[in-house]
Amino acid sequence: MNWAAVSLVGVFGVLWLGVVVFAATASPGWVRAGQAVFGVCLIGWAVRRSLSLLVPARAR
């Protein structure tokens, strides 16, 4: 996994969350909440993966 893929997922998560919060006002609340959780999971995954790319791998 490289930086391009991780940043792409992170940016997609932020965009997804923005669309859910600001543009999808006609959807029911539970659908918006589920999609917001999905967006937060994408952002969290990208942060976790970028931290793992920053920290050097342990010697085996």
What's the predicted TM-score (pTM) here? 0.82
The C-alpha atoms of residue 15 and residue 9 are separated, in whole angstroms, by 10
Measured CA distances, 24 to 14, 21, 39 (Å): 15, 7, 14
Q: pLDDT (tens digit, 9 = 90+) per residue, 24-43?
A: 888 888 988 999 999 999 99
Q: Determine the pLDDT at residue 39.
A: 92
Q: Determine the pLDDT at residue 42.
A: 93
Q: Domain coordinates of the chain in residue numbers?
A: 3-54
**Which bin fits 16, alpha (ψ -120 to 50), beta or left (φ > 0)?**
alpha
Q: What are phi and psi of 27, to 5 degrees?
A: -75, 150
Q: pLDDT (tens digit, 9 = 90+) per residue, 1-21?
A: 788 999 999 999 999 998 888
